[in-house]
Amino acid sequence: MRLPLQLFPPLFLLLSALGQAQAAVPAPPQIAATGHLLMDFHSGEVLAENNADKRLEPASLTKIMTAYTVFKELEEGNITLNDQVLVSKKAWKTPGSRMFIEVGKRVSVDDLIHGMIISSGNDACVALAEHIAGSEASFAALMNKHALELGMENSHFTNSTGLPDPNLYTTPEDILKVTRAIIKEFPQFYPLYSIKEYSYNGIKQKNRNLLLWRDASVDGVKTGHTEAAGYCLVTSAKRDNMRLMSVVMGTASDEARAKESQTLLNFGFRFFQTHRLFNAGQPLKELRVWKGDSDHLNLGLEEDLYITIPRGSYDKLVARIRIENNILAPVSQGQVLGRVIVEHDGETIKEAPLVALHDVREGGIIHNLIDQVLMVFH
């Protein structure tokens, strides 16, 4: 049995957007790409897409997954930034873009990460893969493991570089999943994606993401190109407190991928706004708990709750809660006891689990007998 929906008190709502005139949201722009996707980083709301779940060749967008795998190894303490990596002949000979490391010499993991992200160095990717997993094939298995953990069900990686392979593929939706994970999980490394140039071995190379020079709000992420994949670009930009992520795959040129990405970002920032409605751990409801060492339990969210809506339509939001009836102790922190439901203009746009913010242990015998009687009348 569930309680009726209840309206949250106005105290919980952030009213910063009230008073703005609502802008009519036009149809998303037509994008000259095989596949594209525009998403809000915080809410995960999709604002524009075409072929978002279509398997496509990623080219060097693969290196986003490579970087995520390297960052996970650093997080787990399996490698360090100061590790000195011996450059193999295979890494040195890897074709395509490179950071110009030399066979038989040692290069730090830190330098290789810079070369992978800024210079898009295939040689750096292979050197990192071999250092971490012994071989690029074994490293690709790690990439696929992490991809599944991130819910990238339509992706498969066979190498660390993105060089053409018939069994290498991802989708616009999947590549934004790992991009979002990097920004969220590794904020200490994400600023590397905004660096415009990098010098190694006396050779200076520019980041190929043209939007880093054209739009001050853009701070990443990665370009890619092969003849089969076309020109690809994953972009992330932050204006005020709103961050958008976009991907275009299979455009016609370097200029085209920048232009189409800019079009998507401008559309999203112009017509939408993202709000954080509730903070993680914020008490949203106090419940009566039966047969516990405490009669009261605070409920809240485990993660911040964000929504993305058309600009100027904040007054059309309603937040409600649905709670289980007769909560009995013991209750464990994090236990799901209800739902937060957010409606916009009468339509449900977001749901999140409402959880116990603290433990409530089972009460004593006498207290429980009293509560047993009270529950009948309640």
| Catalytic annotation present for 246 | no
From the list 43, 60, 88, 261, the catalytic residue is 60
From the list 43, 88, 97, 120, the catalytic residue is 120
Return d(Cα 137, Cα 124) in angstroms, integer: 15
8 A C-beta contact, residue 347 and residue 370 = no
CA atoms within 13 A on the CB side of 365: 0
From the list 43, 63, 155, 350, the catalytic residue is 63
User: 269 phi and psi, to 5 degrees?
Assistant: -70, -30
How many residues belong to the chain? 378
Return d(Cα 226, Cα 300) in angstroms, integer: 48
C-alpha distances (whole Å) from 275 to each of 68, 86, 229 are: 28, 48, 36
Return d(Cα 336, Cα 355) in angstroms, integer: 4
| Catalytic annotation present for 63 | yes
Give the gyration radius of the chain's Cα atoms.
25
**Active-site positions?**
60, 63, 120
